[in-house]
């Protein structure tokens, strides 16, 4: 049953992985499309996004299911490790008992050796007694000693001595018998103790082997869980990435479409402005033209000429000298940074139109102070006509110059120099086309 469950867990992810691969490839293809020069971003279908979302949900469900399994599996791992620790403790106890038994066996062996030595000594004494009796020709030297005495006094003396010698001989015989018994007992005890020590040693080795197997199993189980969790989390991350890619591709496509609409509106506005300019020129040819003042006489959409490159470089150079200067709302004079107004009162710096007016003042060109007046007063240029030194403007409604809120100096190559907003500093950054309403050429 455990094998079947494992097989189901392993094979259960294969469709998910295959689907993840398809969705990721599709997402990469769709995301890569906007990077192709001149290519229109591809808007993924609802089916593609639905499949990616389903893939993410499936992966998330699997991770969630695994989290529930992990709690149970972790409990099993903990239990296995507990059993391993208990088995190791059992081994240590068995090892201690074995060491005690081995010490007892060593002591019993020493006792047996001592008993054997005593037995050998006693047997030597018996052998000496036997040799003496043989040499004397009688095993009863007592009678001969009494009969050969010179008198009653010597007979009594010899009798006393012979009685003591006889007692000693008897003691020797008794000692031999006792030594033999002790030797047999010690040898039996030594064998038994050694056998017990050998049994305990084997039990200790078995306990150690069991502990090792349990610990190895617990570690393998923990490692397998970690690997499985990492695999599922990787699949979830891939599914999320695929979904984000598709959603990003859709957002890019929608943004591109919105930009196209904005560009078409801007083109229409430019065409209308060009038509008005043509009509105004026709009227101007019939009547004398008044002297033009950039500050007081706004021009409505007149086309710009080539411009003065020397004045442009002077303006840009002087603006660059102030890179890193803090933004100050309402700040910037003809001579450089100045105190701001309102929220930035007390802060010396530039705001966006203060920077552009200052820069061109250094080139000897006077332009209005605020961004809407600058846009209204200066010759207009379209996006395709922008060149280095032109002023670029942004509005909340690209059809209404009254909503212009920001101006910067176009550096060419898709770069601008600007005073962005409060809390930031003068910087060079990439041109932003979203909200772009048009450009003007102060040097025309």
- Report, as residue numbers or ranges, the catalytic residues: 352, 406, 418
Enter the tokens of residue 190: 């030594």
DSSP 256-303: HHHHHHHHHHHHHHHHHHHHHHHHHHHHHHHSPPPPP-TTTS--SSPB
Helix axes 46-136, 14-32, angle to 10 degrees: 140
> In angstroms, rounded to a whole number, what is the distance separating the alpha carbons of residues 338 and 335?
9
Token pair of 361 as six digits: 């003042």
CA distance 56 to 243: 7
**Which whole-number Å values give the CA distances from 102 to 107, 108, 155, 187, in the listed order?**
9, 10, 60, 15
C-alpha–C-alpha distance, residues 28 and 376, integer Å:
45
CA dihedral (338, 339, 344, 347) positive or negative? positive
| Spatial distance between the Cα atoms of 78 and 311, rounded to a whole number of angstroms | 79
How far, in Å, CA of 373 to CA of 398, rounded? 16
Measured between alpha carbons, how far is 390 from 444 in angstroms, rounded to an integer? 10
Neighbour order of strands in the sheet with 380-381: 380-381, 436-440, 391-395, 404-412, 415-418, 427-430
Q: Which CA distances in Å does 255 have to 28, 252, 314, 396, 423?
A: 19, 5, 37, 16, 28
Look-up: residue for tokens 């969705």?
A: 23
Cα–Cα distance between 386 and 4 in angstroms, integer? 70
Cα 109 vs. chain centroid, distance in angstroms?
63
Using CA atoms, how far apart are residues 16 and 65, in angstroms rounded to an integer?
15
Count CA atoms within 13 Å of residue 303 on its CB side: 15
């Amino acid at each position: 049953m455990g094998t079947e469950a494992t097989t189901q867990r392993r094979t259960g992810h294969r469709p998910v992985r295959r689907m993840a691969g398809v969705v990721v490839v599709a997402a990469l293809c769709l995301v890569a499309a906007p990077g192709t020069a001149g290519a229109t971003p591809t808007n993924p279908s609802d089916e593609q996004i639905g499949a990616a979302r389903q893939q993410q949900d499936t992966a998330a469900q699997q991770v969630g299911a695994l989290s529930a399994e992990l709690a149970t599996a972790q409990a099993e791992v903990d239990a296995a490790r507990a059993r391993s620790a208990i088995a190791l403790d059992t081994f240590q106890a068995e090892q201690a008992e074995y060491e005690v038994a081995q010490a007892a066996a060593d002591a019993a062996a020493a006792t047996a050796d001592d008993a054997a030595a005593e037995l050998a000594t006693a047997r030597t004494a018996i052998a000496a007694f036997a040799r003496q009796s043989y040499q004397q020709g009688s095993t009863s030297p007592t009678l001969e000693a009494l009969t050969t005495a010179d008198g009653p006094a010597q007979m009594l003396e010899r009798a006393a001595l012979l009685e003591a010698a006889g007692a000693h001989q008897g003691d020797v015989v008794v000692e031999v018998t006792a030594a033999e018994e002790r030797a047999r007992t010690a040898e039996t005890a030594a064998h038994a103790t050694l056998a017990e020590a050998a049994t305990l040693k084997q039990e200790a080795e078995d306990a150690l082997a069991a502990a090792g197997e349990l610990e190895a199993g617990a570690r393998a189980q923990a490692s397998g869980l970690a690997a499985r969790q990492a695999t599922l989390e990787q699949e979830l991350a891939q599914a999320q990435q695929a979904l984000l890619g598709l959603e990003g591709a859709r957002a890019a496509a929608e943004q591109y479409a919105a930009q196209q609409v904005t560009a078409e509106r801007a083109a229409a506005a430019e065409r209308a402005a060009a038509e008005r300019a043509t009509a105004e020129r026709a009227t101007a040819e019939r009547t004398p033209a008044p002297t033009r003042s950039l500050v007081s006489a706004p021009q409505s959409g007149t086309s710009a000429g080539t411009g003065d490159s020397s004045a442009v470089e002077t303006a840009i150079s002087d603006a660059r000298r102030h890179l890193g200067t803090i933004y100050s709302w309402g700040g910037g004079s003809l001579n450089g940074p100045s105190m701001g107004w309102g929220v930035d009162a007390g802060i010396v710096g530039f705001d966006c139109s203060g920077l552009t007016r200052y820069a061109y003042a250094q080139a000897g060109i006077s332009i209005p102070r605020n961004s809407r007046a600058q846009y209204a007063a200066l010759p207009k240029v379209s996006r395709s006509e922008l060149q280095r030194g032109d002023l670029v403007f942004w509005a909340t409604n690209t059809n209404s110059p009254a909503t212009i809120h920001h101006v910067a100096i176009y550096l060419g190559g898709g770069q601008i120099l600007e005073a962005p907003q409060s809390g930031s500093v003068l910087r060079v950054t990439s041109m932003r086309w979203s909200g772009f309403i048009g450009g003007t050429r102060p040097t025309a």
